Amino acid sequence: MRKPLIAGNWKMNMLRDSSLALVHGLLDSLGSNTTVDVAVCPPSVYLHDVGAAIRGSQIGLGAQNMHHQAEGAFTGEVSVQMLSDLGCRYVILGHSERRELFGETDASVNQKLMAALAGGLTPIVCVGETLEQRESGATEQVIAGQIRGSLADLTAHQSEKLVIAYEPVWAIGTGKTASPAQAEEVHAQIRGLLGELFGADQAQAVRIQYGGSVKPDNAAELLSQPNIDGALVGGASLKADSFAAIVAAAG
Ligand code: PGA
């Protein structure tokens, strides 16, 4: 009932030519799988070129970050209006690298979330615990805090477009994946929290992606879990064949 969303987070990788080669490779290898939503999130400087290459295809365009204000004196920032002007459909918000390296907090993610929704984008809100937090038994509490803080004041109606990505920080770029059971446990917890916030029916409609070293050989098992509705893929999204294999595993 929930259509899986497989999104590639390219992070600060690729140049113009390699970006275009990657999306052309994807367009060739994806075929016409309409049971899965697919998105690529290139660096913002390549959104225009990548967007032009995928226009009219099944691949949606996403950004990796945005500012919450519409315009103004915010040197180096990009607004939701600019992203939608370029044809973006999605925006990743509060990725753990943004939280850890660029000082983003649940409160700033919440401001961006409200602006993204007002601007018509589908937000992918990232949450996840560090290894230290997991080992000290704090995972549930950390996830609850991030969900409640990042989604503060969101209405059930606004949550219709929401996508959550559960990305354990210790699994990102490390080759260590959460086991399907570990991931499913947190996804089910998030679904329960969404139920408290928006009602059980609405919670059933929200897609919750898993992220953290998703590869072609572990994707199918992760994606077969009842509360895992897609993947946010970093490293393996930089090669057309591995990203297409993850999409195929979701279909
Ligand atoms: P990874 O990154 O797949 O390289 O672990 C996932 C992410 O950070 O979204």
Domain containing residue 220: CATH number? 3.20.20.70
What residues have CB less than 8 Å from 55, skipping those under 6 apart? 87
Distance from residue 6's CA to the centre of ligand 1 (Å): 12
What's the chain's Rg over C-alpha atoms?
A: 17
Q: Is the CB of 237 under 6 A from ligand 1?
A: no
What percent of the chain has a predicted confidence (pLDDT) above 70?
100
Distance from residue 171's CA to the centre of ligand 1 (Å): 8
68 is catalytic: no
Distance CA 9, CA 220 (A): 19
Distance from residue 131's CA to the centre of ligand 1 (Å): 15
Q: Is the CB of 211 under 6 A from ligand 1?
A: yes
97 is catalytic: no
Q: How close are the terminal C-alpha atoms of the chain, in Å?
A: 13
Give me the domain span that covers residue 83: 5-250
Q: Is the CB of 173 under 6 A from ligand 1?
A: yes
Total domain count, the chain: 1
Q: Which residues of 114-127 are buried (b: 16+ CB within 10 A; e: fewer)?
A: bbbbebebbbbbbb
Please give the pLDDT value at position 31. Answer: 77
Per-residue model confidence as pLDDT tens digits over 161-212: 999 999 999 999 888 889 999 999 999 999 999 999 999 999 999 999 999 9
Across the chain, what does the average pLDDT equal? 96
Q: Is the CB of 119 under 6 A from ligand 1?
A: no
The confidence band for 249, taking pLDDT boundaries of 50, 70 and 90, is very high
